[in-house]
Amino acid sequence: MGNIGIALSPSDPAGANMLNIFRELGFSETEDASVLSMGDTYMLVVEPLIVPEERYKVPPEPNPYPTDFDGFAETYGLDYIIIASRHWAKSGQPSFTVHPTGNFGKAMYGGRTRELQPTLANPMRDIYLELSENPPKGFKVSMEATHHSPTQFKTPMFFAELGSRKQQWKDPGSAHYLVEAVLEGINTKGKVPVAIGFGGGHYCPTFSVLEEETAFGHIAAKYAIDLLSPELISQMQDKTLDGVNHAVLDKGLKSHQKKKIQVALSKLKIEVK
């Protein structure tokens, strides 16, 4: 295994809070003012926001958005990048979430339309399980379905987020819990069977429970099922880079939706469980 990357943005109030904590725990500047390090973990400080706040704000090409993550990974020999970020939810529920990125439909918040970003299921699971261990009172911990940018980089990435309002984003205790979970998860290096998921709600209640024994890569929630094509289902497999052992279909899918998914999975030789 190589080195690990973390990225965050000081323009994000949760990112700014976590940056202070990473520094307190031993991250220090390198020769590049935008990069900090501690051991074999490197942190990229990104400006502006990693995910745009405005809907349908697609960055100009050919410039990589929001920064050259692949260049960062190549320079520092990174296996993958964790993006430490805020999470917003209409409910305001205090939460910690983990998820891969990509757009099954139009690119509403950056990235490219109908493109998924490479990710790694087992490292994502390691951090999810650390977050689930003993969260602060009132906080919920969940996986989220694949959504938003980035999408266009070769380096596998996923988000670890603190939600869902300024009270949590700026709270040092909550941010410290997420930072510790990220650092502990990086060191876990777990390895269990890998799945891709179809159906269920955005916060993946079924798949979150199954994380105890299965690492989920890309997940298409119920609201995204009708957007799926065989090519997108193939991307879910190809861009879950630690290999897909099987697929899990949540309850509640319509018969024609299940059939479409099962036909595509059969062609990809992916077993359904």
User: What are the extents of the domains in the chain?
Assistant: 3-272
> pLDDT at residue 59 above 70?
no
Q: What's the mean pLDDT in 51-76?
A: 83
Q: What's the mean pLDDT in 50-63?
A: 76
Q: How confident is the model at residue 105 (pLDDT cuts 50, 70, 90)?
A: very high
Q: What's the mean pLDDT in 12-32?
A: 98
Per-residue DSSP letter, 240: B
- CATH fold of the domain at 3-272: Aminopeptidase (3.40.630)
Say what percent of the chain tops pLDDT 90.
93
Q: Which of 232, 239, 188, 233 is nearest to 217 (CA)?
A: 239
Q: What is the pLDDT of residue 66?
A: 79
Give CA torsion, residues 192, 129, 79, 197, to 10 deg. 60
Per-residue DSSP letter, 58: P
Q: What is the pLDDT of residue 58?
A: 64
Contact 252, 199 (CB under 8 A): yes
Q: What is the pLDDT of residue 55?
A: 82
Residue 239: phi and psi, rounded to 5, are -100, 10
Q: How confident is the model at residue 192 (pLDDT cuts 50, 70, 90)?
A: very high
Calculate the alpha carbon distances from 136 to 17, 150, 176 in Å: 17, 29, 11
> pLDDT at residue 123 above 70?
yes
> pLDDT at residue 173 above 90?
yes
Q: What is the pLDDT of residue 116?
A: 98
Q: What's the mean pLDDT in 41-60?
A: 86
pTM of model > 0.95 = yes
> pLDDT at residue 41 above 90?
yes
> pLDDT at residue 245 above 80?
yes
**Per-chain mean pLDDT for the chain:** 96
Q: What's the mean pLDDT in 95-124?
A: 96
* CB neighbour class for 138 (10 Å; exposed up to 12, middle 13-18, buried from 19): exposed
Q: What's the mean pLDDT in 195-203?
A: 98
> pLDDT at residue 54 above 90?
no
